[in-house]
Amino acid sequence: MRLEWGDPVLVAESPFCNEPGVDRWGYYQFPVLDRLMDGRIAVTFHINKDSARAYGKGTDEPNRGVSADGGMTWTRAFPTDAVAGLVLPDGQRVRVGTADVTPRPALVADYQLPPTRGTAIGSYGQQPYVTYLHRELPAELQGVPLARWDAAAQCWQTERARLDDPDLLRASAEGVFPVVWWGDVNLAPDGSLIGVVYPARLEGTEFAHWHCGCYRSVDGGRSWQLAGRILYRPDSTIDCHAAQRDGFSEPASVILPDGELVAVLRTTDGNGDGPLYLCRSVDLGVTWTPPKILRRNGVLPRLLRLANGILVMSTGRPGADLSFSSDGRGETWSEPHLLVPITSDYNQHDSCGYTSLLALDDNAFLVAYSWFQKPAGHGGTRKAIYVRRVRVQP
């Protein structure tokens, strides 16, 4: 396998320097790469607190970089230009569950809610998550947020798709009720859409831990039916905190040329670094192989299968890095290639660890990531968003 690395390219940096004791978690973090409708490339990032109350919230300063030259140079902009979305077999375009279509959360106090089904306590800050049976919630708190491209109006129109999962629990937090459905949506060989998503929780013995749900749509994203679940089944011989974890979250998924579905799942939480797990399905998410540990750390894994057959994974925390599976199936992986230096034992010191991948051609791609230690002069440092071009060939 041959690798060629482009230089890191700065997209944006924070106007503030890092200060001891000042918490700005969420600002200049969580970059997402997209193609725009006109072919340019965008990387959109978060400039808000990392909070349920910030979902769907705009910003007072430009939170997007736009490139017209394949990622070599970037211009700051507000996220007004339309992204390309996922193209369906009939030519329609959709955006499903992404941050830009996630609605502002509703105030819990504004609703007469059904009986609660239990309260789960998250590992970060002991945040309570008050759960309700999804199908008993008011209509505006149900379903899947998405947008569909209106070719006549040349804009995205938001929709709320039906979600058919009679046992699913959905939760409120921080006094608000977010409607989120996060994960990759893949186009299956039969033309259906397959989403592997979180958060998901069930009553009974599974209540204590998140799991990831797999849903299928055969009507272009207008409704979604449960296919199967990836229940939390950790390896406690490797992870001593397995029983105390929040569960599986932030799934990445990709469909291989033979139709096999591969998913990689996060377990890092407030208990510290947790393993990434990998599992597979040969029946479009109905059944899954037992999750196996892929590596000992990581958040928000991203997967990209290039046309040359190489499977790329980006993740981080600590730092940010890339790994490559030359077999194209995720059976074997290279050692991680660091994108930022790791300078501390604290896993959030150097980067948020959230990354994004975008193919440029059969052999090349862009990776976006954050670096929290960009020199700012006089010994100070700033948060920054970077993009790097990588070429990999068998």
Q: Between residues 69 and 21, which one has the greater pLDDT?
A: 69
Q: What percent of the chain has pLDDT over 90?
A: 99
- What are the φ/ψ torsions at residue 61 (nearest 5 degrees)? -130, 155
Average pLDDT of the segment spanning 110-121? 98
Query: pLDDT digit string (tens) for 209-234?
Result: 999 999 999 999 999 999 999 999 99
pLDDT of residue 377: 84
Identify the bridge partners of residue 323 per DSSP, sorted by sequence position. 313
Pairing of strands 93-96, 144-150: antiparallel
pLDDT of residue 101: 96
Q: Please give the single-letter amino acid code of residue 149.
A: W
- Under a CB-based contact definition with an 8 Å cutoff, are residues 281 and 214 in contact? yes
pLDDT tens column, 155-167: 999 999 999 999 9
Q: In what order do the strands lie in the sheet with 118-121?
A: 118-121, 128-133, 169-172
Q: pLDDT tens, 330-359?
A: 999 999 999 999 999 999 999 999 999 999
Given CATH 3.40.50.960, say whether it is the number of domain 2-393. Answer: no
Radius of gyration over every alpha carbon of the chain, rounded to an integer in angstroms: 20
Contact call for residues 361 and 375 (beta carbons, < 8 A): no
Mean pLDDT over 379-393 rounds to 97
Mean pLDDT over each residue of the chain, to the nearest integer: 98
pLDDT of residue 302: 99
ω into 199 cis (within 30 of 0): yes
Q: Which helix (H) or strand (E) holds 199?
A: strand 193-200
- Judge whether residue 365 has pLDDT over 90: yes
Q: How far apart are alpha carbons 272 and 269 in whole angstroms?
A: 6
Sorted by sequence, the CB contacts under 8 Å of residue 216 that are 6+ apart come out as 188, 192, 193, 194, 195, 224, 225, 227, 284, 285
Domain boundaries, the chain: 2-393
Instruction: Supply the pLDDT for residue 146.
Output: 98
How are beta strands 320-325 and 337-338 bridged, if at all? antiparallel
Whether the full predicted model's pTM is greater than 0.85, yes or no, is: yes
Q: How confident is the model at residue 171 (pLDDT cuts 50, 70, 90)?
A: very high
Average pLDDT over residues 237-260: 98
